[in-house]
Amino acid sequence: MSIFTGAGVALITPMYEDGSVNYGEMERIIDDQIAQGTDAIIVCGTTGEASTLSYDEHLETVRMCVSMVGKRVPVIAGTGSNCTKAAVRLSKEAQSVGADALLVVSPYYNKATQQGLKQHFTQVAEAVDLPVILYNIQGRTGVNIAPQTIADLVKDVDQIVAVKEASGNISQVAEMLQRTQGEVDIYSGNDDQIVPIVALGGKGVISVLSHVAPRDTHDMVMKMIQGDVEGSRRLQLKYIPLIQALFCEVNPIPVKAAMNMMGYQAGTLRMPLTELEDAHKELLRKAMIDLGVI
């Protein structure tokens, strides 16, 4: 059984001006997301600025998210690290505070071999009793998880059940599904590739776009799954300008600006991320106005 089908939001971590986590606003965002059709909450991932959270903040943010969601939808906790021992520890702790599944990015900076990736993911997954989503994003980690590596892991490790695929390589997604004989769930990690990945058999998206268009992001997935290809395609193309604006600078800089424009208290970013540049802010604002988001 899939962890979720549809659109999961890669949740921002709202912050006060002093950089501390704004849990009150996080609850407001979670409630609004669920009310508008979001199918899962992914906490402490890339969009949640997990790389700048302390260990205690990271775990507390997962714990608070689990409490706020209250079993309405699955909570998927980002627990990856470039240190295998650290990823194991955080994964165990996330399970202990009630996460429903884990999102584990490939080790960044180290540039492990494919054999090293296999051993890393196996140790992390076998340390818990939760389903694990592998996160493949070579642009941030420096290493691609090869389709055969994923096929081997899915075959050998029961806990590994899905992949968040953000390589941008549709051919790789097709090869992955062929090599696994459909025995792995694929979630698009790129909002501009939801339709092609679901068309190949993917289960949905782990989305940044969902912050500003949760209902339509959900519908984009479900229309395709239910056979309304034209309806899904129209939504995908409709949102391309906004998706491009949401990635005009590195994520999550633009989406935090977008949430602030919508009246949420997304707050500031932690260094080394900086505020959205003025020209990009106007580009984002225009895209949101054109679509009636603000």
**For position 35, which CATH number holds?**
3.20.20.70
**From 118, 164, 256, 281, active-site residue:** 164
Burial class, 193, CB count within 10 angstroms (exposed 0-12 / middle 13-18 / buried 19+): buried
DSSP character at residue 277: P
Q: What range does the domain containing 112 cover?
A: 6-222
Within a domain: residue 167?
A: yes
Within a domain: residue 78?
A: yes
CB atoms within 10 A of CB 263: 8
Contact indicator for 174, 143 with CB cutoff of 8 Å: no
CA of 82: how far to CAs of 69, 78, 105, 236, in Å? 28, 13, 9, 34
Phi, psi of 131 (to 5 degrees): -65, 145
Within a domain: residue 30?
A: yes
pLDDT of 213 reads 98
Contact indicator for 72, 47 with CB cutoff of 8 Å: no
Name which of 79, 78, 80 is nearest 8 in CA terms.
78
- Residue 250's identity, in one-letter code, is V
Name which of 156, 147, 86 is nearest 114 in CA terms.
147
Within a domain: residue 265?
A: no
End-to-end, the C-alpha distance of the chain in Å comes to: 37
pLDDT of 182 reads 85
Contact indicator for 107, 84 with CB cutoff of 8 Å: yes
> What is the DSSP code string of 213-249?
-HHHHHHHHHHHHTT-HHHHHHHHHHTHHHHHHHTSS
Domain count for the chain = 1
Within a domain: residue 51?
A: yes
User: Cα angle at 250 between 237 and 44, to 5 degrees?
Assistant: 95
Within a domain: residue 280?
A: no
Q: Per-residue pLDDT for the chain (294 aa), expressed as one digit of tens each?
A: 899 999 999 999 999 999 999 999 999 999 999 999 999 999 999 999 999 999 999 999 999 999 999 999 999 999 999 999 999 999 999 999 999 999 999 999 999 999 999 999 999 999 999 999 999 999 999 999 999 999 999 999 999 999 999 999 999 999 999 999 989 999 999 999 999 999 999 999 999 999 999 999 999 999 999 999 999 999 999 999 999 999 999 999 999 999 999 999 999 999 999 999 999 999 999 999 999 999
d(CA 14, CA 269): 9
**From 23, 92, 108, 135, active-site residue:** 135
> What is the DSSP code string of 83-101?
SHHHHHHHHHHHHHTT-SE
Within a domain: residue 230?
A: no
DSSP character at residue 102: E
pLDDT of 1 reads 87
The reply to whether 164 belongs to the active site is yes
Cross-strand bridge partners of residue 206: 8
d(CA 108, CA 290): 37
DSSP character at residue 251: T
Within a domain: residue 1?
A: no
Phi, psi of 241 (to 5 degrees): -60, -40
Name which of 235, 245, 237, 238 is nearest 286 in CA terms.
245
d(CA 108, CA 106): 6
d(CA 109, CA 249): 21
The reply to whether 55 belongs to the active site is no
